[in-house]
Amino acid sequence: MTEKPKIALYWCSSCGGCEESVVDLAEDILTVSEMADIVFWPVALDFKYKDVEALNDGEIAATLINGAVRMDEQEEMAKLLRRKSQLVMAHGACAHLGGVPGLANFFERQDVLDRSYKEVPTVKNPEGTLPEVQSVAHGRELELSGFHDRVRALDQVVDVDYYIPGCPPTPELIRDAIIMALEGRLPPKGSVLAEKKALCDTCPRRDSRPERLRIKEFKRLHQTEWDPEKCFLNQALICLGPATRGGCMARCIHANMPCRGCFGPTDDVRDQGAKSLSFLASMIDSKDEKELERIADSIPDPAGLFYRYSLASSLLKGKIPG
């Protein structure tokens, strides 16, 4: 009997949603496990670091890594898995673009530590202890993984062959990516395995997206009741569909919520946030500076909104220090 190809799954800085999306493969996981052996998957199977280390270089056919990278441990695992795998796939928005954890790049490293370990109301830390790579407690030396200055997307750490976008990706996209990898039917290296066109193209509300929009104020969801059939933009509600890659089956729109951009930019866009800003600004109906200022102010946190999933991989990558 010939050996089945091997696959592996790993998580870095993530919420667990991407793992959940693998579990959501339901019976399709059987198809996958008929085709391949899962040799490493910390969330579900009891294989260890040393088991991965013991494999030959390139012995794993494909590894899916989810989560952004901010710790030494994550970087080390990503590099080890890269060495052992023929293909590495960035699984989900955080590995693909930095994702929501990447928003921490709007803050300095020290601010993140102070906030998490000293300031949040649920933490009692009178001595102000912060995690250290080396420390001594009760006469024993302890070692923790180092915490980097910045959050990085996976391809800022190791070479990535393919991207499965989404927060999280749909189970269908994950299944198709794994099967395509095992059957050797993949598109050119570097491809994002979803639609090429923007979300609006496949949106059920696209027919009510007018050619020209004339907006005097951006509304926020809690300020209004909206028509569940009409394009959000047509109702002065921000939807990032025009600046976001399609392929999610418009799941937020079907749930009557506007798109927040988790599938990332289309191939021809480098910076999803700048693109979002650009199309929204063009829709404003005013030529008066004062009025334009007021309309711009109706978006209280533009950077947080436009870069919700892509800050770490954007042109500026985060706040400029100082």
Partner 1 sequence: MNRFEPIIVGFLCNWCAYEGADAAGRARKPYPVNLRVIRVLCSGRTDPQFVLEAFKEGADGVLILGCHPGECHYKEGNFHTLKRYIMLRKMLMQFGIEEDRLRLDWISASERDRFVEVVSEMVERVRELGPLVR
**Interacting span for partner 1 (CB under 8 A) from 39-47, 172-180, 232-240, 266-274:** 266-274
The only residue of 47, 106, 147, 226 in contact with partner 1, by rule CB under 8 A = 106
The only residue of 10, 40, 263, 307 in contact with ligand SF4, by rule CB under 6 A = 263
Q: How far apart are CA 93 and CA 164, in angstroms?
A: 8
Counting every residue written for the chain, the total comes to 322
Helices 28-35 and 171-183 pack at an angle, to 10 degrees, of 20
Query: What are the DSSP calls for 56-73, one per residue?
Result: PTT-EEEEEEESBEEEHH
Q: Does 306 bind partner 1 (CB under 8 A)?
A: yes
Neighbours of 200 (CB within 10 A): 21
Query: What are the DSSP calls for 207-264, one per residue?
Result: GGS-SS--BS--B-GGG----SSS-SGGGTB---GGGSB--STTHHHHTT-----TT-
Q: How far is the CB of 245 from ligand SF4 (least distance, A)?
A: 7
Q: How far is the CB of 265 from partner 1 (least distance, A)?
A: 10
Q: How far apart are CA 116 and CA 147, in angstroms?
A: 13
Site residues (CB under 6 A) for ligand SF4, limited to 187-216: 199-200, 203, 205-206, 209
Q: Does 305 bind ligand SF4 (CB under 6 A)?
A: no
36 neighbors 181 (Cβ within 8 angstroms):
no
316's contact among partner 1, ligand SF4, none, with CB below 5 to 8 A by partner kind, is partner 1
Residues 6+ apart with CB under 8 A from 27: none
The only residue of 88, 170, 273, 313 in contact with partner 1, by rule CB under 8 A = 273
Q: Does 39 bind ligand SF4 (CB under 6 A)?
A: no
Which residues lie near ligand SF4 (CB under 6 A)?
A: 166, 199-200, 203, 205-206, 209, 231-233, 239, 241-242, 244, 248, 250-253, 258-263
Which residues lie near partner 1 (CB under 8 A)?
A: 106, 269-271, 273-275, 277-278, 280-282, 284, 286-287, 289, 292-293, 296-297, 299, 301-304, 306, 314-316, 318-322
